[in-house]
Chains A and B, each alone.
Chain A
Amino acid sequence: MPSPVQFSRQGAIALITVDNPPVNALGHALRAALLEAFRAAETDDAVQAVVLCCAGRTFIAGADIREFGQTPQAPLLPELVEAIEACSKPSVAAIHGSALGGGLEVAMACHYRIARDDAAIGLPEVRLGLIPGAGGTQRLPRLVGVARALRMITSGAAIGTAEALACGLVDDWFEGEAQAAGLAFAARLLAEQRGPRRSGERRDQLQADDVAGLFAAKRAEVEQQMPGSFAAQRAIAAIKAATRLPLAEGLKRERALFEECLQSPQRAALVEAFFAERAARKAQSAA
């Protein structure tokens, strides 16, 4: 099987291109290859900046649904995300199409993000009975603020490029090819001598006027609109941890809440419903 990641160097810029059709899902082989590519960029002295982009019709659209219900193999997503964020060279994720779930967590681990005008960006995990499990609940509020992170993560709804740009989730936007836009942005980073800017190290967006009020209101809203939603309430708890704990502690809390969701009967039922609906759609389009 060909590697799902291509690594090349263009001058001082390492270009990491994911090519894992059809939707660049974050399966084991891709996680391993991405980790290797970022490590190669880190150790190559000629590399001064890194571009992550994807071939095909979308950025990393999410987890690999074929791995649902299986024991995942290392490297796990949190390990990959941590390595990307820790990289000492500034990195930019050039997003086209969808950056959902693990795809967005990878993009948020990069130090900068740009999105094509057609992008859909979100953390839909609660819809499958989970919460983001690779830092999504810790990094999203650091980038877009508590209120918006609560809305995005508890609803699972994606936002478009305009909103992502307006709220600071992406730094810039483009039309056309993701690779060219990513390389141009990285060249600008180098010209302006902008170094790594790690999402996890930011705290400014976590300060809001009435954080306690935001959490209380969201809890009540979720109670009313999604009564008994196991994952949505845990998502709120995880975001709350982001506002109270240092990153490493927050990530541990997120992981614990993620595991609780993974073990819950609601998760199993939602995954079953997901596959049933998918099979029904396939049968319908075949008929």
Chain B
Amino acid sequence: MEFDNIQIEVQGAVGLIRLHRPEVYNALNGALMRELGAALRLFERETDIRCMVITGSDKAFAAGADISELQFKTFSDVYLENFVTASWEEVTRCRKPVIAAVAGLALGGGCELAMMCDFIIAADNARFGQPEVKVGTMPGAGGTQRLTRAIGKAKAMDMCLTGRTLDAQEALSYGLVSRVVPLDRLLDEALTAAAQIASYSGMAVRLNKEAVDRAFETTLAEGVEFERRLMHASFGSEDQKEGMQAFVQKRKPLWRHR
């Protein structure tokens, strides 16, 4: 598969994916999402890559789903092709961390794609929104669910029902994004965070990610129990031994990522 709608780069142990449909503010269409999924699978498969970053342009992470591609589709079309489920959720299947580096517009499917990532770093010009109501439909890639979990019912309802967007500072104060940086620092910040993650044991990083993700699927007691068992399990890994021994011996750990 050749990549026409995205560009990929590898920097050390970090895989970078740029959404690249500049003429339409990175509107997400089937071709782009298939390429994104394939690139993520390629990075997942590569043992030397331990963290991934998805970004867009300075003006748009992704302005939404490509409405020109969707406008005439019938219920049967989208139901039978399993729209969204079939090829838009590859990010959620990644076991390695995925960071969204968002500048400019992250609207509709773009906001949902960013929310599927493990966390979002935003440029100060970022804007987040779920304006699907304005075109007679609703979010369909987890927008109503992930947004509500991220920022609570009141603000999620406000966004979905009015279609209003959040600026970067609002998104930060509501907990939708983890950091806000000046636009010209965005990619550096995201790649530095990714390199830091990649410098740790890939095993430990996955265990952490799996445990945090479980918080969204279960009760507190069950979640804590799950966390406890994963922590116990980490003591069966080579890297837990190496990490703790290196700490005690005041040296740098040599990770085996297992």
Which A positions have Cβ atoms within 8 angstroms of B? 117-118, 159-163, 165-167, 171-174
Contact = CB atoms under 8 A, between A and B. Distances in A.
A171 B3 CA distance: 10
A172 B49 CA distance: 19
A118 B8 CA distance: 17
A45 B49 CA distance: 45
B41 A166 contact: no
Most B Cβ at <10 Å: residue of A118, A166, A173: A166
B97 to A, nearest CB: 16
Contacts of A162: 8, 10, 15, 39, 42-43, 46, 49
Contacts of B49: 160, 162
A151 to B, nearest CB: 11
A173 B48 contact: no
Contacts of B10: 159-160, 162-163, 166-167
B46 A160 contact: yes
Given A171-B2, A172-B1, A172-B2, A165 B46 contact: no
Contact of B8 (A117, A165, A172): A165
Interface residues of B, number: 16
A117 B48 CA distance: 13
Interface string B5-41: 0001110000100000000000000000000000101
A167 B15 CA distance: 12
A173 B8 CA distance: 13
A217 B2 CA distance: 34
B45 interface: yes
Nearest to B10: A163
Contacts of A172: 1-2
A169 B170 CA distance: 43
A192 to B, nearest CB: 11
Nearest to B3: A165
Contact of B46 (A161, A167, A171, A174): A161
27 contacts: A117-B41, A117-B42, A117-B45, A117-B46, A118-B45, A160-B10, A160-B46, A160-B47, A160-B48, A161-B42, A161-B46, A162-B10, A162-B39, A162-B43, A162-B46, A163-B10, A163-B46, A165-B3, A165-B8, A166-B8, A166-B10, A167-B10, A172-B1, A172-B2, A173-B1, A173-B42, A174-B1
Nearest to B47: A160
A82 B179 CA distance: 54
Most A Cβ at <10 Å: residue of B8, B41, B46, B47: B46
Contact of B9 (A159, A161, A166): A166
Contacts of B41: 117
A118 B43 CA distance: 10
Contacts of B9: 166
Given A117-B45, A166-B10, A173-B42, 19 more contacts: A117-B41, A117-B42, A118-B45, A160-B46, A160-B48, A160-B49, A161-B46, A162-B8, A162-B42, A162-B49, A163-B10, A163-B46, A165-B3, A165-B8, A165-B42, A166-B9, A171-B2, A172-B1, A174-B1
